[in-house]
Amino acid sequence: MLLTIVVVLRGSLAQTLERRNARVAGTLVGSGLAVGLLALHPPAAVLLLVVVVAQGVAHAFVVRHYATTALAGSVMGLLLAHLLYSGDKPALDFIERVGDTLLGTGIAWAFSYVLPSWERHQIADTVRRVARAMGRHARFSLALATLAEVTGQPELAWRLARREAYDALSALVLASNRALVEPRAVRPPIAALEQLQGHGYQLLGQLSAIQSILLLRRQRLQLDAVQPALDAAARVIEEALDMTRPWQPSEPHVHDADDAPLLGSAVPEVLPDPFESDSSAWLLRRLALACRLAGAVRADADRVLAELAPGSPEPVPARA
């Protein structure tokens, strides 16, 4: 029972429930298999062989699939008890082990509500990590226009930034999934988090498309003409995703030194034929969409942080 409490009680309620279910299911199946095997009255050598195999399986799956570990551990425990004490009542051993498991999992489940670690206490840092990682990823992605080929230190920095952006979003998805089983009173704003995740993956998709245009179609781009727009887009995205500074939602109106528009508020719908020699218009369209999505990500992040703030009276409405 004490061992069950130790292995079931985890750092969050979702992890505790997952381990509880795996422990109970594995114990029931494993104890049933052990009782069935003992009912056949096999020789001691066979029981010893099964114990060795069960011990190996239990240790092999302890990290990968805990239900399998619980199953093998139950088989090993009941067979060892039978061999050590020469017991002739495997049904009683089954009842004792299952009863201890149920009691231990119940205690662990109850104490997961004592000094709990709710996801809303850590999810704000994860949201800031997502915004920071995507801003950094955007800066390196839009700087690929200066590369003659995808080699060297700048390209390595871009790959690391992209990996961090995807890791941060994955951490946010996992935290949101764990929060779904928490009490409604302490649950973070799930709808706002889902909207943030959707806009975040859309922004990463736009940045990947821009990177593909810069690297695969660089011969069909007027780099001197689009470089100011790339710099402007990088600046707009980084400013929007900088959670340390205040930000107001607005369309990305960016002009150069001669007051010529670089990124307008409207995304052009009439675009040239994709088989024409110049792909600059397609790149500019992607840049405008990326800037707009960066603003949506920032608005979603602000909404989540506002609803997580202590004493927030009601959810903050989403901003376009």
| Torsion angle, alpha carbons of 285, 172, 68, 107, to 10 | -160
What is the number of domains present in the chain? 2
Looking at the structure, tell me whether residues 102 and 196 fall in a common domain. Answer: no
In this structure, which amino acid lies at residue 257? A
Looking at the structure, tell me whether residues 139 and 177 fall in a common domain. Answer: yes
Q: Which of 72-76, 104-108, 228-232, 270-274 has the lowest mean pLDDT?
A: 270-274
| pLDDT reading at 267 higher than 60 | no
Looking at the structure, tell me whether residues 191 and 93 fall in a common domain. Answer: no
Average pLDDT, stretch 222-227? Answer: 75
Domain, as residue range, for 287: 119-308
Looking at the structure, tell me whether residues 186 and 163 fall in a common domain. Answer: yes
Looking at the structure, tell me whether residues 144 and 285 fall in a common domain. Answer: yes
317 in any annotated domain:
no
300 or 258: which leads in pLDDT = 300
Looking at the structure, tell me whether residues 124 and 103 fall in a common domain. Answer: no
Taking the C-alpha atoms of residue 56 and residue 61, their distance in angstroms, rounded to an integer, is: 9
Taking the C-alpha atoms of residue 239 and residue 290, their distance in angstroms, rounded to an integer, is: 13
Looking at the structure, tell me whether residues 84 and 171 fall in a common domain. Answer: no
Looking at the structure, tell me whether residues 233 and 261 fall in a common domain. Answer: yes
Taking the C-alpha atoms of residue 292 and residue 236, their distance in angstroms, rounded to an integer, is: 9
- pLDDT tens, 82-125? 888 765 677 777 888 888 889 999 998 888 888 788 888 889 99
Average pLDDT, stretch 183-191? Answer: 89
Average per-residue pLDDT for the chain: 82
Average pLDDT, stretch 290-311? Answer: 89
Of 54, 86, 111, the position where a domain reaches its end is 111
Of 111, 144, 179, the position where a domain reaches its end is 111
Of 93, 111, 129, the position where a domain reaches its end is 111
Looking at the structure, tell me whether residues 124 and 45 fall in a common domain. Answer: no
By three-state DSSP, how is residue 318 classified? coil
